[in-house]
Each structure stands twice: as C-alpha cells, then as structure tokens.
Structure 1
Amino acid sequence: MTQTRQENGRVLVFDADDTLWENNVLFERVIDDFLTWLDHPTLDRVEIRAILDDIERANTVAHGYGSRVFLRSLGECLERLRRRPATVEERGRLDELVTALVTHQVELMPGVAETLDALAARHELLLTKGDREEQQRKLDACGLLPHFRAAHVVAEKGVDTYRWLIREHGFDPAVAWMIGNSPKSDILPARAAGMNAVFIPNENTWALEHDELDPGDPRVLRLATFPELLRHF
C-alpha cells in the first residue's frame, strides 16, 4: 500500500503491518497454540519452531504472504513431524487456529492515530506487502486512509519496489523517508534505493524480517516509539 503527500519536497513512506498496527503478534499467538496442540513427544517448542521457520521461509518465496500461506506452512510442518498426511480433523483444527488472523480487528499501535493526525497536513506515503485481499481489509478497517494520498499493496518490498515507488510518484529519494519496523523489508532496501529510513523496532517483528543494520549509517534514524516522529517531522 502506499500513500503520498509532500511538503517542502519531503515525503514519508509508512510500512503498515507492525508499524501502524499490530500484526505478527497475532501469528505468534497462533503458533503458540499450534505448538501446544501439537505436543510432539520428542522435539521441544524451539526445535519445532525452527522447522516451521524453514518451511515459512521457503513458502514465502514460492507463494507470498498472508494467512493462507501461513496455513499451508502449518500443514506442511504438521505432516513433516507426523510423517504422514494430515487428517480431516487435523486440517479442521488448523483452519480454526488461522481463522483468528482473518477475523481479528485491526489494533493500531500506540499513538499512531494521533501522530498521523498531526503529520497529515505535511507529508505522507504508506507501503506494505502481503496478501492483497487481507491487506485491503486492514486498510478499510484501520480508519487511517484519509491521511494518505495513495495506497499500494505489493507482493514484496525489495530495492526494485522502492525504485518503482520513486518513479511512480516522482519524488527525490534523498528527501524521502521510509518508516518501518523491518530491517529486511523496510530499512535496507529503501536505503539501497537512495532513500532515508526511520527504524522503529517492534519486539514482535517476524523472525524472517530480521537483519543487521549499519549502526554508523547517518541516514537511518532510530526511534523507540511512533509518536517520536513528531520531534523530527
């Protein structure tokens, strides 16, 4: 998704999941329930989680993101550990676990609504990746769309995505800022495309979105909370 507003040549680009609203914590709750239900006789939760992470890593490359791909990963993990196809009952239980992801209400991060209210007259842009149908549902439910000029849902956020975004909206990357919680999808590719970045860590960020940031990069601003944006923009 993307939304854009400029003032004095400045553009802000906002990630959505786990920056504007909670997302991965919902998946973590499902995984926790999955591990409890699975109750493997020999492997502990850490070992099973490592297997699931490997499966998710492969499936995101092959199939993308969202609850349907996540359900696929849970099913493959179950079958690998059981060493047999999942039964109808097991598939039904997995469906029940994942349903919570689709029906859960959007939970904005603390201070997001108030901060965007203050920033709305100055500059904006929002970008997120994921399943188009699910992301559109979140956009429609979040109540934030009036703050933004445009919205894009993209399958992946790599350097080419940010270069496309720059061309699409015609802004100077040197005065644009990508704001997000993911080093892998928000900060590093935006920097590689010539943009500045604001890193706002989220303790529930998906493990597959972690990566190392250069602590000496002067064009990466690190903030502890979303409302701190008002001190800089």
Structure 2
Amino acid sequence: MAALTTIGFDADDTLWQNEQFFRLTEERFQALLADHAEPKDLLARLLEAERRNLAHYGFGIKGFTLSMIETALEVTEGRVPAAVIGQILEAGREMLSHPVETLPHAAETLERLAGLYRIVLITKGDLFDQERKLAQSGLGDFFDAVEIVSDKSASTYERIFARHGDGADHAMMVGNSLKSDVVPAILAGSWGVFVPHPLTWVFEHVEPPVGAPRFRELSHLGELPELLERIDNSSV
C-alpha cells in the first residue's frame, strides 16, 4: 500500500464554522419577505436560484447574496422595495465579515500533523473570503500550500496532489462534504475521510461510498492522528 505523504483539508465546516451563517441569513431573508411568500416556498425558490446560478457565480457568499436578490424580485414580481434589497445586501456584507470560529480539534490536529506530512488546504468559494477566514483562523502556519478552487473534482485532486505531493495515491483528503471532499478524492486514488458536520448544504449530500477501501468516517478531527497511524503501520 502506498505510504501517505500528503493530507488535504477542507476549510468551511471542517476547520471552521460556515453553514450556520448561511442558515441565520436565510432566517433573516424569510422575515424580510414574510408578506410575499411562505417560508418553505421562499427557501425552495432560493435554493433553485442558487442551483441555477452556480455556473455563473460559483460557490460562496456573493453568489448567495445575488440569489437572494433574484428570489426577492421573483416572489414580489419585481415590486420588492429598495429598502429590502438594501437589507439583503447588508446581510451579505455581514456574512463576509463575521468572526472566524474554528471547530473543536482543528488546531491541535493540524499541529500534531504539521511536519509529519505535507498539509494542504483545499477549499472552494470566493477567493477574498477564504483568504480572510484563513488569515483570521490562526491556522495558516500549519499549511504547506493553499489551493482555493472553483469546484472540487477527481481531476482537481489529481492536479493538486501531484503539484504539492507525491500523487493522489500517496494522499488523503479530509472534509465534511461527501460530494466535494470525499467521493472525488477517492475517484482520484486518494483516501477520503468524512468528518460530518451537523449543518451541511443540501447540494453537498450524496450517499457515502461505504464499499470503497480508502473511505473512512470519523466522529471528529481529533480522531485523525490515530487513523493515520493505523494506515501508516499497515503500509509498511
């Protein structure tokens, strides 16, 4: 079995909180449009707008904010008050400036692994927002490389692990999204380690690849060093 030399980590909801701020903003959006749409219908239409707009705006807060504005225009048939648009824009700006809250076990796990493996941050979303969160997280010094990508696919991991490591078969990807972090990494030939988060965006839900020999699931990041020790011992 190929020895592990490189570990990739997802950022949002793996190392720090993210989805909770989207959920809070959705609640604020529901309140703003309460006179025009039922809450469940409004969120369903917002989700559809996000789905349509991914190809145009990509992942992140700016695309989410534009999708909220588009949905507000739709449900009011173009009559949404300018003040409401202003409040939606303000909600987006607040999301882009919220304090970074690292998740349990993130810092100590990275500290234990730094120097033993090449550590790479692999995250998707808005470049400025991800750079801001990394800088404020206090975790930046643990990483040998940072890759902010538009999307995550098997070819993404093949390219990154070839650039910053010894290839995908010597690498592991760790994250809270089966769709973005785990399944494509396994398809690339890497290990894929799933660390569930209580809040995960619906677009990131797929069935776990339970039959894949390089798939593992942990209850929290603090279990990762022990898993790596078992894998390393079995590859000798």
Any runs of at least 4 consecutive aligned residues in structure 1 with deviations exceeding 4 A, and if so which?
none
Matched residue, 2:234: none
Amino acid at match of 1:222: E
1:31 aligned onto 2:26 = yes
Q: Does 1:221 align with 2:213?
A: no
Which runs of 5 or more structure 2 residues have no equivalent in the other structure? 229-236
For residues 89 and 167 of structure 2, what CA distance do their matches in structure 1 show? Answer: 45
Q: Is the 8 A contact 1:181 1:199 kept in 2?
A: yes
Q: Which has the higher contact order (CA 8 A, sep 6+)?
A: 1
- Which residue number in structure 2 is paired with residue 178 of structure 1? 173
Instruction: List aligned pairs for 1:1-233, cutoff 5 A.
Output: 9-40=4-35, 43-123=37-117, 124-233=119-228
CA contact (8 A) 2:174 2:193 kept: yes
CA distance in 2, matches of 1:85, 1:120: 54
> Where does structure 1 lack aligned partners over 5 or more consecutive residues?
1-7
Separation in 2, partners of 1:66, 1:174? 30
Tell me by how many angstroms 1:85 deviates. Answer: 4.9
Q: CA deviation at 1:216?
A: 2.1
Say which is worse superposed, 155-164 or 80-89, in terms of deviation: 80-89
User: Could you tell me how far 1:205 is from its partner in structure 2?
Assistant: 1.1
Query: Partners of 2:221 and 2:207 in 1: how far apart?
Result: 21
C-alpha displacement at 1:167, in angstroms? 2.6
Q: Return the alpha-carbon distance in structure 1 between the equivalents of residues 123 and 141 of structure 2.
A: 17
- Give yes or no for contact 1:157–1:185 (8 Å, CA) kept in 2: yes
Q: CA deviation at 1:9?
A: 4.4
Distance 1:220 1:66 in 2: 27
Report percent identity of matched pairs.
35
Aligned length: 225
CA RMSD of superposed structures (Å): 1.5
Q: Is the 8 A contact 2:162 2:168 kept in 1?
A: no
Relative to the length of structure 1, the TM-score reads 0.91
Amino acid aligned to 1:84: G
Code of the aligned partner of 2:22: F
TM-score, normalised relative to structure 2: 0.90
Q: Deviations over 1:67-114 (max 9, x none)?
A: 211110000111111111543212111112222211111100012111
Residue type at the aligned position of 2:88: L
